[in-house]
Each structure stands twice: as structure tokens, then as C-alpha cells.
């Protein structure tokens, strides 16, 4: 899967499902502090990622994911390693 497609899908679900302001969705944005992702949102993200990208997020793999760019990298690596 191409990086642009991953970014587009993530952008869409952040805006539509989690009601994140579009201007907050930039690669260097921190998920918790800048985007406002909390533990309840994370549960939604797990379901959305499974539906859109076909894999389950393992919490231990998300330990180093701080920014949206980290999240894109995590998805890209996981999807393309299948």
C-alpha cells in the first residue's frame, strides 16, 4: 500500500470518526498532545485500523509511536510486511 493512501485513510478516519480538526493533522503532530487522542479514541483507532488496513494493532508495537508520522510509518511497515 502506498504512503499517500495510508495518509489519506488515516486523515479521513481522524476527521470523520474522531472529529479531529483537519488543521491538526500534520505529520509532526503528536497524537496525544496535539491531535487529542485519548485512551477511548485509541480503542476506536484499533477497530478502524483493522477495518481499513487488515491488521490488529498490538499495544506493545505502538510504544514508540508519538507523532502522526510515526503512526503512518507503523501502518506502512505493518501492511507492507504481510
Contact criterion met (CB below 8 Å) for 46 and 57: yes
Catalytic residue among 12, 38, 44, 70: 38
Residue 38 a catalytic site member: yes
- DSSP state letter for 17: T
b/e for 12-46, b at 16 or more Cβ within 10 A?
ebbeeebebeeeebeeebebeeebbbeeebeeebe
Return the active site residues: 38
Amino acid at each position: 500500500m502506498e504512503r499517500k493512501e495510508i495518509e489519506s485513510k488515516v486523515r479521513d478516519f481522524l476527521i470523520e470518526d474522531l472529529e479531529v480538526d483537519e488543521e491538526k493533522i500534520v505529520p509532526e503532530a503528536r497524537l496525544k498532545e496535539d491531535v487529542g487522542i485519548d485512551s477511548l479514541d485509541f480503542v476506536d483507532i484499533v477497530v478502524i485500523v483493522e477495518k481499513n488496513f487488515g491488521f490488529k494493532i498490538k499495544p506493545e508495537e505502538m510504544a514508540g509511536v508519538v507523532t502522526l508520522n510515526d503512526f503512518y510509518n507503523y501502518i506502512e511497515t505493518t501492511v507492507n510486511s504481510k
